[in-house]
Amino acid sequence: MAKPPNASHRTNWLLAALEPEDVALLEPHLETVHLTQGQVLYDTGGTISHAYFPDDAIVSLVNVMEDGGTVEVGVFGCEGLLSALVTREAFGRYVVQLAGAASRISCERLDEMRNARPNLRHLLMRYGEVLLAQALQNVSCNAVHPVESRCCRWILSMRDRADQDTLPLTHEFLAEMLAVQRSSVSMVTRTLQTAGLIRQSRGSITVLNRAGLEKTACECYGKVRLIYQRLLPDGAR
């Protein structure tokens, strides 16, 4: 469902960080779309036709294994951009994990703007560096950190992007994102609830004690936040 361009495009941190001249050129080609939870924007091997600047929606990039299992390899929220690389081929499944709005532009038009506007090109290159650094940190995290600390990191990261304490999360979804058994997630969330860090309801998790969650989360949560602070301008984080 598309809506006309409006000022809400600046809700996205990357768009908000652009120079006024760059925004003026981009805005006529942006449309606001509403993304629904569970919606698959692109599947593995498909062609990415549009780039998305999420406003309050959150999209996960998951790798689909031969046995049908999935593992999250990237997340895109209000801090970033979901776009194609050189080939415009989707290397995984882009699935909406939190419903909301996003600003959409065709990849062809974005490429034209990027080639013509050095400031835009530089910002998107820096964001690409952020994504690479974040992916490398996530690989290390998945290899060495226990499920409990990884789960806390994931909940905190989603809470930051959604800017709300109550998140529409199920144990099944968390297990898919963390690439663990659902029983492992149930045990971890039960422990976190007993400790007063979260409250579980049917289909949702509410953050009750953010500071406590940060103490329980692995070091990767803080390191990824520092990556954004170091590589992106103030308006883009």
Long-range contacts of 227-232 (CB under 8 A, 24+ apart): 227/130, 227/133, 227/134, 227/137, 228/79, 228/130, 231/126, 231/127, 231/129, 231/130, 231/133, 232/13, 232/17, 232/123, 232/126, 232/127, 232/130
To 5 degrees, how large is the angle CA 70–CA 74–CA 80? Answer: 150
**Which amino acid, one-letter code, is at 113?**
M
Set out the domains of the chain in order of their start, with CATH numbers.
2-112 (2.60.120.10), 146-217 (1.10.10.10)
The per-residue pLDDT string of the chain (237 residues; one tens digit each, 9 = 90 and over) reads 333 344 456 689 899 888 889 989 999 999 999 999 999 999 999 999 999 999 999 999 988 888 877 888 888 999 899 998 778 999 899 999 899 999 999 999 999 999 999 999 999 999 999 988 888 888 898 889 999 999 999 999 999 988 899 999 889 888 988 888 999 999 999 999 999 999 999 889 999 999 999 999 999 999 998 888 888 866 455
Residue 144 CB neighbours (<10 A):
10
Are the C-beta atoms of 156 and 138 separated by less than 8 Å? no
Q: Give the C-alpha separation, 222 to 162, whole Å.
A: 18
Residue 56 is encoded by which pair of tokens?
């309050």
Pick the closest to residue 79 from 155, 9, 129, 12 (CA basis): 12
202: tokens are 């049917």
3-state secondary structure of 70: strand
